[in-house]
Structure 1
């Protein structure tokens, strides 16, 4: 019976399954995507670590030293540890092991020429062996050593630096002397070696510095002659793993950490702590990713909550439509003696089948969605980015199972409500289609709005504290439920407007009741009297469209604000610092003591030519910008320290990047103020407030070794390129009464006067580049002109890096996916509802045709009905989505460091986003109207009237 019922309602059941499947897939995407994006960033960070520090990050080094162990115990300890490293540690790391280098060391021994055995020598050396060394070296001079003694002499290899430091030649024999040596040990260097490839991670030290005072002997020879026979005391053995770090994933990071702990515990169980050594350069980088994983998970949930609520409502709506079509059957079954639980059980079995299949298939669909997320470069923008490492994990099925269970409960709620109604009650409900919906009776719209607005108020209050006190987002407890507030606001505002909508319809009807044509009159009567019939559809469309608009606003806002923050903090496309000639004493070299030349009290600089900078490829504008941190200032109300910036106002105004409407007046007007008087300065609002300085006051500026000069305050500004007026993170003690008095201060003056009155010191060179410039050509021109650049800030490079940040990638991907799901679900729900509505009104439409209405008039009535229901719901959704974006999108800055968000966070809408939304919605409405019109044209009057007789 259940299968036959599902087949009879195949379109409804398919729509229900689609909603459950999308819910399970979306929830299952979270752990898959979180792992994939963090894996990508982990590998990228490790690659950056290798580039910056020239250290291969995928290594693990451990060493065990021996103290007074007997030779037999020492051999057993080495054997046990070798077996442990091979059998337990190698597979335990969870990533491919490229190399396992086993190193053995003897104690340091005196090196004495064999022809002068009684000579006392201060030169000492040790012997070492490395597993598989021959595959990784090339012989620069001489040959490889033998793997057994040659005439009682042990042959060895050296590096060229070791040969120089020992001051010996190849082929010269030496004696190794020590009190614990058994017999005579002769050593002879026979070859000089170097690395076969420069970037070979086989060597722990890229420069081979640790091999410059040792002799390297064959591995088998070392084992036979020194370990087993104990001719020379072996003092240490080490194991160096070279891992393929590009195969690191979040799922195997714990394996790496657990194996690291196991190795440490195993070695420490055999020796005392100070006889062991460990090194794994990736540990610090890996440990930070667990915290980032938690933050990313919180962000993903907060962004997905509105979409999940919308999917839940969709399932409830479709389930309600299914139950509505079967309410008559349910009522008859109840009247014939069937219990409520028997009826509920039949629907529950149907729900279990649908949810079970969705649970099995959902995570795999989630993997496909994850690939869509990984390709997003902005809202509804996709790029050919290198594919992410995506695979199924157990958490995906756990999350998907919870989603499927929740969907199952949502589908049973309408069934439970329907089984309470008898056949008489069902007929009464059909006759009272204009009854008030439950959510309006219970004032859920007012409650949802009140909760959401209160949550917004408390959140903004906390956010203000974060910014003004220089705190991190973790310093104040932020309730994750705050991110549910946008969805609550959308539901509350939508329901409130729907509460008012019937009165608007009545007003329209009353205004034109004498002039409306019959089709419009009939439509207004139909919509007005059956208002509750359309409530579900209208609420659903409001939610989906509003969430789509909210997603577009959130994505555009966060992307644009991130770009603006980077551009503002840098100030220009490029910021260069070149080397200036000066009379300061040179810095001490490596291994040298402090310089004996006294430093002059004032360092004098020679300014290099500025003209070459304007000739660099792609440069449009250039500016000199002098920045002096912690310059001292004095005013009538006190003194303090501030950042001093010296500029040439015209050049600076043309070169710097500064957003519009950030100051009280246009930025160029402030530049004009500086140009009026050489003594003119602009001060930050923080300085004006803390020291009580106002326009027209005199301010004296100086720094160490430089006498002060007087300036006149011509203007007070809140912001200036590269200046952050918020207190740095951790700089404020919130227990102090004047906690806000630690904000940074700024003074901006004319560069010419600063150089003339104070001192000539190195300045930065800011560059504005032409549109579409080539970075490689720019770098080539720097080399060609031989500019002595000591530091460079590249804004384009940092913008690219920011777009690859896991939070921004996750945000763009999730919001894009949320919007696509919203539109698809909206279209399916819209089409499903109207098809069922049209089928339910076949008799009514047949009568309309029979009394003389043409097909065109019927289609016009249908279009008008859609306009008054779906069209109005979409307009309300756009309005509510815009309002929700303006109110709640600023809350997402909590995912970043609010104190660093300068310029201030502002909500941004892009016309192209709305064009996309309106285009998709228009296509949805037109396609739906076309399908419904086709169905309407297929209605036969005689069939409809015969149906009425039946």
Structure 2
């Protein structure tokens, strides 16, 4: 009890220090717990969104499951009936196996196909009748079909089957409702069944929005009551049941990311069970590929999150260590007195461990809730220090999040107990000796940790550069953004190592400054220089703290901006405008030959098509220009396999036909890709209808320069002559890089391009379909354009929406992690840096009250005391910020280019570019400046409140 009393009193006496330590522990818990929370939440949302996208693209409900199997048995014996019954039982277990609620279910049965003819048909009619159909059944038939004529069938016991049929099948059978038909099997038994169609049905989509019964899928046959089919065929064995089918609509919105493995296992179990058990099985599970793509994503995302969190984790570690060290520094005298009075090191450490446990439990009580908030902030990040009103992430506490939080607290407690453990080794005499002068070399510099970290980072950088060259040389491209976690860990290591390395020599620099001007320095500056040079170890932690904050902040800003800008530029360049449309053109092309006509027919048709040029009728362009919200529209003709010739050189090229004015107003082009602005090139060719621009690859291959003639044609057309006016390297939507297959051939030709006037191409060559590019007005929703296209029934056959693709790109979980964690990490770093800065200097100031009292007594004015404080801040905190800026720019130059490996070089057009934005620097410098200014004002205020007379009474000098 006495121990607890001592602990509580000690904590009360240092309540502000304990509060800062608790704050650091709470942020640590929140940060660590947010990792699994964010990983689960973002993957959960992405999973549901991708399933919904599957529905919008393929018009199939994401929870749809269809299992169909034939019956390989030729007879309906007991073994076959038992196999069908077991298959039914397994089908009923599908929702439970997948862990999803069944919103709708039905099953179907089909007999073998039978010849169908009228009961009163003559022998001649029977021979001529070609109609075939099966007797089939549908569970819940009464609720799923819509009668358009007649009535529902009843289960009769007189051997006659009443059935529903489609209008088309009844027409093929050449009979009316109520007229008896005969269904005769085509096997050796020649079984005959009497069937009377009593109703005509069609699909009723309103009956079941999740799983409608489509009569058009199997329209030939007789639909009888399910119970009757089971009694007469499945269990009665009157004829062979040829096929069985089970369909489910499962509630995919219930799917949790954590149950992905369960879903995949159930999918495999279903396929394994039905494959060959009854017959040949077919499966239609449209969400299977989407769900399978998420397997293993969490591990990759967790690794990336861990690497992204590394810099801020280092910051938190420094903060906790610094706060704990400051607390212990104030209590070293108490510890040494306890040791001198017989207290063991174990007893002292027990007391500090209990104190830390109390703080840790307090952090665990609040930290996870703060972690939930962190996770929501991560989900709202749209870029570095950019937030949008995105729908909230589905965040919920998990056991893994709390386990991670407990591990983080335990690790933090061990970290903050290190200063206490080291303090228990010092006696009261040693303590007084250490207080006399703080020039002792730090542990970091003694062990050479700075050199080790810098060397390690440089070694990894060298390996990454070699890897990048290999990727470029071998064209080993990835299909999606794949960021190596080391790309975030290496800069943090280099920033820490570089900061420690600079601070190793910084005290010598201060001594050099002091020595150079010792005759001219004012008393205040003289004192400050001596104080910093003799007590360099005292300032080491806060300086490393600020260096890490500024350096990693700059790197985070440049890395996030570079990744975002390159991904967005790639999409906008590929589309060319805000929206690119392909439209349907009327033409006189012959219908394609069917496969049944044979290879010779296809060859003849191809020759005929080639001999006779297809004539196209250009659709109206004006409706696209008049769409509400459209600022400008442009016609963009592309011919991929055009031919060029110049002198003795000819080859294949891509031909662009444009209207220069409309194209210049509509197309998107990144600045810096061309020698001059794109409008300059458009203005160059605008006056001459025969003027063209050519790609540099064509100019080098054909030895063509501006002013030379060039002839263009395609598909046997007469060549048209143009004049080269300019040479370009890039053009909106044109990829100047060889394809992946071409890259394997060292002699592969580079893609070539010719850009000319559309009107001239149409007049002198041919009129063929072109794309329509749209530029939207500021703030116009793309949905407005979609609705108008649908409402006006404009014949759109192809569609690319740059804005939609940008949104999908920003919703990628890995990109969201980069933007969210970098932003959150930077904000947290700034926050704890501010608290750490204040904590350090307030305690330093209060510890030097006596010193300031002596200086005042010696006659130094208060304004000079303030000057001493400012100069000390500039030479410590200010210098750390400057060093951080230098190191931040250095690691940006060294490591940001490595992110090029994360992009597919084959498709990375425009080329990868390092992006720095002035606003990021302004934000960073503003935050740091505000932090230092507020800190100085608070310190100045506290300094003005010091009672000098009382300070002198407390002293011993």
TM over 0.5: yes
State the SS of the aligned residue for 1:193: strand
CA distance in structure 1 between the aligned counterparts of 2:678 and 2:535, rounded to whole angstroms:
58
Contact 1:621–1:651 under 8 Å retained in 2 = yes
Contact 1:548–1:819 under 8 Å retained in 2 = yes
What's the CA shift string for 1:450-503, capped at 9, x where partnerless? 443443344344335434643224899996434322112322333344345445
Cα distance 1:95–1:185, how it changes in 2: closer, same or farther (>3 A)?
same
Identify the residue that residue 805 of structure 1 maps to in structure 2. 812
1:884 aligns with 2:891: yes
State the SS of the aligned residue for 1:209: coil
Contact 1:553–1:882 under 8 Å retained in 2 = no
Contact 1:547–1:822 under 8 Å retained in 2 = no
Identify the residue that residue 931 of structure 2 maps to in structure 1. 924
Cα distance 1:16–1:181, how it changes in 2: closer, same or farther (>3 A)?
farther
1:767 aligns with 2:778: no
State the SS of the aligned residue for 1:828: helix
Correspondence 1:715-726 to 2 at 5 A: 715-726=726-737
1:483 to 465, 485, 488: 488
Cα distance 1:643–1:184, how it changes in 2: closer, same or farther (>3 A)?
closer
1:367 aligns with 2:372: yes
2:138 to 114, 130, 135: 130
Structure 1, unaligned runs of 5 or more = none
State the SS of the aligned residue for 1:141: strand
- The alpha carbon displacement at 1:832 in A equals 1.9
CA distance in structure 2 between the aligned counterparts of 1:9 and 1:155, rounded to whole angstroms:
91
1:728 aligns with 2:739: yes
- The alpha carbon displacement at 1:540 in A equals 0.4
Identify the residue that residue 667 of structure 1 maps to in structure 2. 678
- The alpha carbon displacement at 1:688 in A equals 4.9
Cα distance 1:761–1:199, how it changes in 2: closer, same or farther (>3 A)?
farther
Identify the residue that residue 83 of structure 1 maps to in structure 2. 89
1:284 to 284, 289, 294: 289
What's the CA shift string for 1:284-340, capped at 9, x where partnerless? 222222255455444433332222222233233233333333434444555566666
Identify the residue that residue 378 of structure 1 maps to in structure 2. 383
1:247 aligns with 2:258: no
Contact 1:108–1:124 under 8 Å retained in 2 = yes
CA distance in structure 1 between the aligned counterparts of 2:430 and 2:276, rounded to whole angstroms:
78
- The alpha carbon displacement at 1:536 in A equals 0.5
Contact 1:576–1:789 under 8 Å retained in 2 = yes
- The alpha carbon displacement at 1:26 in A equals 2.5
CA distance in structure 1 between the aligned counterparts of 2:21 and 2:87, rounded to whole angstroms:
59
Correspondence 1:825-840 to 2 at 5 A: 825-840=832-847
2:803 to 790, 796, 807: 796
Comparing 213-222 with 356-365, greater Cα deviation is found at 356-365
1:159 aligns with 2:166: yes
Cα distance 1:85–1:344, how it changes in 2: closer, same or farther (>3 A)?
farther
State the SS of the aligned residue for 1:720: coil
State the SS of the aligned residue for 2:249: strand
Comparing 115-124 with 153-162, greater Cα deviation is found at 115-124
Comparing 90-99 with 173-182, greater Cα deviation is found at 173-182
Identify the residue that residue 658 of structure 1 maps to in structure 2. 669
Identify the residue that residue 109 of structure 1 maps to in structure 2. 114
Cα distance 1:640–1:290, how it changes in 2: closer, same or farther (>3 A)?
farther
Correspondence 1:608-757 to 2 at 5 A: 610=621, 613-634=624-645, 639-675=650-686, 680-688=691-699, 699-709=710-720, 713-733=724-744, 738=746, 741=748, 743-751=750-758, 753-757=760-764
- The alpha carbon displacement at 1:539 in A equals 0.8
Cα distance 1:861–1:634, how it changes in 2: closer, same or farther (>3 A)?
same
1:264 to 268, 271, 280: 271
Identify the residue that residue 15 of structure 1 maps to in structure 2. 20
Structure 2, unaligned runs of 5 or more = none
What's the CA shift string for 1:854-897, capped at 9, x where partnerless? 76665554344334322332343344334433442333343332
- The alpha carbon displacement at 1:212 in A equals 0.7
Cα distance 1:729–1:389, how it changes in 2: closer, same or farther (>3 A)?
farther
- The alpha carbon displacement at 1:370 in A equals 1.6
- The alpha carbon displacement at 1:511 in A equals 7.1
TM-score (norm 2): 0.87
Cα distance 1:238–1:771, how it changes in 2: closer, same or farther (>3 A)?
closer
Identify the residue that residue 232 of structure 2 maps to in structure 1. 225
Contact 2:76–2:239 under 8 Å retained in 1 = no
Identify the residue that residue 36 of structure 2 maps to in structure 1. 31
Identify the residue that residue 452 of structure 1 maps to in structure 2. 457
CA distance in structure 1 between the aligned counterparts of 2:793 and 2:238, rounded to whole angstroms:
60
TM-score (norm 1): 0.88
Identify the residue that residue 171 of structure 1 maps to in structure 2. 178
CA distance in structure 2 between the aligned counterparts of 1:516 and 1:775, rounded to whole angstroms:
67
What's the CA shift string for 1:927-946, capped at 9, x where partnerless? 43444445445544454344
Correspondence 1:277-676 to 2 at 5 A: 277-290=282-295, 292-332=297-337, 347=352, 351=356, 362-397=367-402, 399-400=404-405, 403-467=408-472, 469-473=474-478, 480-502=485-507, 505-506=510-511, 518-587=523-592, 598-599=608-609, 600-607=611-618, 610=621, 613-634=624-645, 639-675=650-686
CA distance in structure 2 between the aligned counterparts of 1:822 and 1:138, rounded to whole angstroms:
65
CA distance in structure 2 between the aligned counterparts of 1:592 and 1:615, rounded to whole angstroms:
46
CA distance in structure 1 between the aligned counterparts of 2:210 and 2:877, rounded to whole angstroms:
67
- The alpha carbon displacement at 1:71 in A equals 4.1
Identify the residue that residue 189 of structure 1 maps to in structure 2. 197
Cα distance 1:836–1:235, how it changes in 2: closer, same or farther (>3 A)?
same
- The alpha carbon displacement at 1:111 in A equals 3.2
- The alpha carbon displacement at 1:18 in A equals 3.3
Cα distance 1:729–1:420, how it changes in 2: closer, same or farther (>3 A)?
farther
1:45 aligns with 2:50: yes
CA distance in structure 1 between the aligned counterparts of 2:752 and 2:299, rounded to whole angstroms:
35
Cα distance 1:849–1:658, how it changes in 2: closer, same or farther (>3 A)?
same
Contact 1:631–1:701 under 8 Å retained in 2 = yes
Length, aligned pairs only: 941
- The alpha carbon displacement at 1:343 in A equals 5.2
State the SS of the aligned residue for 2:327: helix
State the SS of the aligned residue for 1:811: helix
Cα distance 1:158–1:12, how it changes in 2: closer, same or farther (>3 A)?
farther
What's the CA shift string for 1:163-217, capped at 9, x where partnerless? 3343433323334434798997433332333343269455477x53223113222
- The alpha carbon displacement at 1:533 in A equals 0.9
State the SS of the aligned residue for 2:568: helix
Contact 1:182–1:232 under 8 Å retained in 2 = no
Cα distance 1:35–1:69, how it changes in 2: closer, same or farther (>3 A)?
farther
CA distance in structure 2 between the aligned counterparts of 1:922 and 1:425, rounded to whole angstroms:
39
1:54 aligns with 2:65: no
- The alpha carbon displacement at 1:97 in A equals 1.8
State the SS of the aligned residue for 1:724: coil
- The alpha carbon displacement at 1:93 in A equals 0.7
Identify the residue that residue 149 of structure 1 maps to in structure 2. 156
Cα distance 1:29–1:535, how it changes in 2: closer, same or farther (>3 A)?
same
CA distance in structure 2 between the aligned counterparts of 1:361 and 1:75, rounded to whole angstroms:
62
What's the CA shift string for 1:747-772, capped at 9, x where partnerless? 33444554455444333333334333
Contact 2:261–2:295 under 8 Å retained in 1 = no
Cα distance 1:770–1:84, how it changes in 2: closer, same or farther (>3 A)?
closer
